Chains A and B, each alone.
Chain A
């Protein structure tokens, strides 16, 4: 039998169901891979004993009717896991062991899977390269010295390196889709409100959304089905009937109208990105979809808007880290105020501090109207751009990122150049829309590139179907040599 771990989740599930492989042997195969991949630094915590115990329980009493029968899964270290350390990639949560489980991970476990480990990420999910993590850089398996994207960089690296059969991330401005694009994998940011935010370490609450990261579209549909659903504990959770995304996956996209927005380009964008976009358009056209040129005129203002809204919300959310109730506490300082100041200065990294300061400033007296209120108004215009166009088209096709994976250290000295990485992904977070990044090709250096499909609110099924048809006809194959092993 070929190596089970390089197969997709849906193939693995089939093999579990036909008893070709036990959950225990599957788990052992991943543990072996993880132990041989320490160079990638994808894991913050491993839970091997726990996973082997759960696998054994499954094998003794298997239930094959579940969506994820006996499947070990590593998840981003931003999801609170009961009795397992949850760090959010930060020194300030270095010793935090939650006494509760996030709704999204609980949903995964209730569908038959169990925790294999916690994956590295940018500190509090603030970053586009995984370089802001307190636990160090993660390496992209597609090439040594390349970033895996961020903030869900441990997730994309572990998935592409066969260290977990599928995973989940969170996406506030592109943190699922950009790492997926950089590693040749599939990443979906669902509609805001589809997956519960309860128990996820908060960054920017009006933008944060959890979603699947997988090797193919079928896996993405399975994972979304397992993790999504109404949750009373999240005040912005959408109460609707659960959908069978995997069962309803169809590859017939004839007659669908696909919008092509002229604003999705940047100065000095590599020619390969344009060529990839052209290739994507041709594939969809050949499958019977109709391409329609559209305009989303406020696209260029999405990123500046994001860098007001997200830090503002972050500065409020991160006020809770005060060294009193949980997390790191500095021993320095002569009184309570100095204890707070030293705790936060020593506990947070530079990027997080920068964003807290931006957020505090834009919300401070005298500046609120000029920055925060202005950003909320522009956010309205960005959402309206999408609303206006979704009366004419079923989905929108764009590149996922303006470049392929870059080198570690290449953008760390210039925050704005790092932020520009998210230029194509941020607008959908501001508008609350679902968006899927799918692997579509390689650049001249052989690095993966992704295309993005943006859907109407709660229209995940349609973008998954388009992605499914695209995947079958694109011929992309992610061939990663295991140079680290």
Chain B
């Protein structure tokens, strides 16, 4: 199958990346050549194969549900592009 510009714009919307019209042609070409490469996998019959979801022979550990840190508000806010008092600030969401 091939990816057209509209589909790529839709996927970009899902990924929250704005795609500039000047770049859409080269992006379409690149993605189509990558997907052509990926689609070699269709040569293989995998009907009876279980998907591999973890390469470890162990299941994920569970831990006690307890607070082991906290009181690090300053550290959490330290890198924020914009904050006010104790909060992250974003463009207005509700009118």
Q: Are B30 and A415 in contact (CB under 8 A)?
A: yes
Q: Are B38 and A304 in contact (CB under 8 A)?
A: yes
Q: Are A432 and B56 in contact (CB under 8 A)?
A: yes
Q: Are A97 and B54 in contact (CB under 8 A)?
A: no
Q: Are A356 and B15 in contact (CB under 8 A)?
A: yes
For A360, the chain B residues whose CB sits under 8 A away are 11, 14-15
Interface segment among A141-149, A163-171, A286-294, A322-330: the answer is: A322-330
Given contacts A238-B58, A327-B81, A432-B55, contact A419 B19 (CB under 8 A): no
- Residue of B16, B18, B35, B61 touching A322 (CB-CB under 8 A): B16
Interface string of B16-44 (1 = CB under 8 A from A): 11111001000100110111011111101
Q: Are B56 and A236 in contact (CB under 8 A)?
A: yes
Interface segment among A25-33, A338-346, A468-476: the answer is: A338-346
For B33, the chain A residues whose CB sits under 8 A away are 414-416
Q: Are B49 and A357 in contact (CB under 8 A)?
A: no
Bound together, the chains give a CA A327 to CA B76 distance in angstroms of 12
Given contacts A335-B91, A381-B46, A416-B33, contact A307 B38 (CB under 8 A): yes
Given contacts A307-B38, A364-B14, contact A379 B52 (CB under 8 A): yes
Closest residue of A by beta carbon distance from B89: A324
Interface string of B42-68 (1 = CB under 8 A from A): 101010011111111010110100000
Interface segment among A126-134, A151-159, A369-377: the answer is: A369-377
- Count of chain A residues with a beta carbon within 8 Å of a chain B beta carbon: 69
Q: Are B20 and A335 in contact (CB under 8 A)?
A: no
Q: Are A96 and B31 in contact (CB under 8 A)?
A: no
- Residue of A328, A378, A415 touching B41 (CB-CB under 8 A): A378
Closest residue of A by beta carbon distance from B48: A377
- Residue of A335, A338, A357 touching B11 (CB-CB under 8 A): A357
With both chains docked as a complex, state the minimum distance between the C-beta of B86 and any C-beta of chain A, in angstroms: 13
Cβ of A315 < 8 Å from any Cβ of B?
A: yes
Given contacts A336-B90, A415-B33, contact A300 B27 (CB under 8 A): no
Q: Are B16 and A376 in contact (CB under 8 A)?
A: no
Cβ of B75 < 8 Å from any Cβ of A?
A: yes
Q: Are A374 and B41 in contact (CB under 8 A)?
A: yes
Cβ of A301 < 8 Å from any Cβ of B?
A: yes
Closest residue of A by beta carbon distance from B35: A358
For A95, the chain B residues whose CB sits under 8 A away are 79
Bound together, the chains give a CA A472 to CA B41 distance in angstroms of 41
Q: Are A325 and B88 in contact (CB under 8 A)?
A: yes
For A415, the chain B residues whose CB sits under 8 A away are 30, 33-34
Can you list 23 residue pairs at the A/B interface with Cβ under 8 Å? A206-B55, A232-B61, A236-B54, A301-B41, A301-B44, A304-B38, A319-B16, A325-B79, A326-B81, A345-B17, A345-B20, A348-B17, A353-B17, A354-B31, A357-B11, A358-B34, A371-B38, A376-B53, A379-B51, A380-B52, A416-B37, A419-B37, A432-B56
